[in-house]
Structure 1
């Protein structure tokens, strides 16, 4: 019986914690300021600029593993195991 009560309390507590998420837009706190402008930048980035990563951080995927269609040279040290 105690296990059932503990399991029920854990389930209700988990559901309560899962339902308290914030669904509004992200903004800095009223007393806090945005981070300082990066070195060399002319302006401080907005929150939207900070949340959207630049293209360099998400490079395109390349599935082409073969860079060249040339035949490989023979390898004198590519020996079968003894």
Structure 2
């Protein structure tokens, strides 16, 4: 029981480190500027996921009780 408590305390202390902004290591630089970019991206810019990573849903579900629109193309077979 004591070992489990010590391991949990060590794990909790390991997870509460200081959060600093990222920077390249000493002597290194950021990647080269992309050819189509207007300026050199910063480390924060490089960490933002592009919109293609998680696109917005186009088939939103009905959130509240709303009448559905009539579908003119939902015709019975002839």
Give 1:26's aligned residue.
22
Please report the RMSD computed on the Cα atoms of aligned residues, expressed in angstroms: 3.4
Q: Deviations over 1:6-25 (max 9, x none)?
A: 21221222122122x23222
> Which has the larger share of helix?
1
Give 1:79's aligned residue.
none
Aligned residues: 71
Which structure has the larger Rg?
A: 1
Give 1:73's aligned residue.
75
Q: Deviations over 1:19-59 (max 9, x none)?
A: 2x2322222222221012224335421223223445x3465
Q: TM-score, normalised by structure 1?
A: 0.53
**Gap regions ≥5 residues in structure 2:** 63-67
Larger RCO of the pair (alpha carbons < 8 Å, separation 6+) = 2
